Amino acid sequence: MSHNVYIYILVMAGVTYLIRLLPLTLIQKEIKNKTIRSFLHYVPYVTLAVMTFPAILYATASIWSALGGLVAAIVLAYKGNSLFKVSLSACLVVFIIELFA
């Protein structure tokens, strides 16, 4: 059986295009429902969190250093520190835990 890669690419491109095109053609009016608008507002943040969280836990040699860095980042971000300070502190916590554990 011969597999043509170009057919696979064409089908994937078609599906991707339809996924992006259908909402534009089916929803022509402004969305006024507060629940749906709120849901659509948080979709990018949730998607980023879902993609990032597993990478945080498995990026280090130990799960404990990853959790330490995650907790440090969450605490500092909650206190309103800058992104640079949060990321630098999380890296430092991971380094220290990896060094002594």
Answering whether pTM is above 0.75, one says no
3 state SS of 72: helix
Q: Which two tokens stand for residue 54?
A: 């597993």
pLDDT score, position 4: 85
The residue ranges of every structural domain in the chain are: 5-100
pLDDT score, position 1: 54
CA distance 20 to 14: 10
CA distance 26 to 99: 56
pLDDT one digit per residue (tens) for the chain, 101 residues: 567 899 999 999 999 998 888 887 888 888 888 998 898 889 888 888 899 999 998 989 899 999 999 999 999 999 999 999 999 999 999 999 999 97
